[in-house]
Amino acid sequence: MERKALANLQVIAVVGSDGQKCDLIFLEDGQRLNSFTYVESFEKKSLPVGKSNIWRIMVAQHDGASCHTSKFTQQFLRTEALIFP
């Protein structure tokens, strides 16, 4: 029996409580979502939109994935004065 390779697609989505949203962030094929790629993507794509007067307060809600809870990510969120419940 031949095994088929499954497609691997990782996407980061950012949506505000008021319905505002950023463009979807697609990771490149084979790129792993770790603390560094998460922060880099967040910094380049989401943060500019959030700071552009659309959202007065940004609250980052994440699941328990290690890229969200790592010391590196937590330090970034604190540095950018983002609320992380």
For residues 63 and 40, the answer to whether their CB atoms sit within 8 Å is: no
pLDDT at 70: 92
pLDDT at residue 26, as a whole number: 85
The reported pLDDT for the residue numbered 81 is: 64
Tell me how far the alpha carbon of residue 13 is from its chain's centroid: 7
Q: Strand (E) positions, 1-85?
A: 11-12, 25-26
Whether 21 and 45 have beta carbons less than 8 Å apart is answered as: no
Q: What is the pLDDT of residue 72?
A: 94
pLDDT 10s digits, 19-72: 777 788 888 877 788 999 888 887 887 776 666 655 556 666 677 888 888 999
Per-domain residue ranges for the chain? Answer: 11-79
Q: Is 50 exposed, middle or buried (0-12, 13-18, 19+ CB in 10 A)?
A: buried
pLDDT of 78: 81
In the structure, what pLDDT confidence band is assigned to residue 84 with cuts at 50, 70 and 90?
Answer: low
Checking if the pLDDT of 75 tops 70, the result is: yes
pLDDT tier, 85 (very low <50, low <70, confident <90, very high otherwise): low
